[in-house]
Amino acid sequence: MSKRALCMWLLCAAVSARGEPFRIVLPSAPTPAEKTAASELEHYLSLTVAGQLSVAGQSPVRFLIGDSAEARRAGLVSTNMAEEAWHVRSTGADVVLVGGGRRGTLYAVYHFLEEVVGVSWWNAF
């Protein structure tokens, strides 16, 4: 396991141990984009809605990032998706964020943050 993956796993474990209402789960061998997606999701959720999360009235919420076994069980197989296509789906108290190609999962996370959480990125142009 790489140092970064270990750090992400420890961060997720620490967040879960503190009783936070969410946990971020990466695949066993995450891609760099999946690691970035998890990091971005954790950062913005911590700043915004960390104490208010529930899915279908259930908490804690697990965010399943990328091409994981859970995503495949939910019928979301990244290798079957077009380049940069993405899906966001909830199953029970889980939110599955997965995409095709190198950046699809990252786009799924950004879409979720914008459309569900309400995060906005402002641009001078």
Contact partners, residue 30, CB within 8 Å, separation at least 6? 5, 8, 38, 65, 66
Q: Is the pLDDT reported for residue 112 higher than 70?
A: yes
Residue 82 pairs in a beta bridge with none
Query: 53: closest CA among 62, 40, 65?
Result: 62
pLDDT at 55: 64
pLDDT at 41: 92
Q: Give the count of beta carbons closer than 10 Å to the beta carbon of residue 8.
A: 22
Lowest average pLDDT, out of 35-39, 74-78, 86-90, 116-120, goes to: 74-78
DSSP for 14-81, please give it.
HHHHTT-SEEEE--SS--HHHHHHHHHHHHHHHHTTGGG--BTTB-SEEEEESS-HHHHHTT--GGGS
Could you read off the pLDDT of 49-60 as tens digits, one per residue? 655 665 666 666
pLDDT at 49: 64
88 in Cβ contact with 111 (< 8 Å): yes
Q: What is the pTM of this model?
A: 0.74
Q: Is the pLDDT reported for residue 117 higher than 60?
A: yes
Distance CA 31, CA 44 (A): 20
pLDDT at 81: 82
Q: Is the pLDDT reported for residue 113 higher than 70?
A: yes
Confidence of residue 70 (pLDDT cuts 50, 70, 90): confident
Mean pLDDT, rounded, of the chain: 78
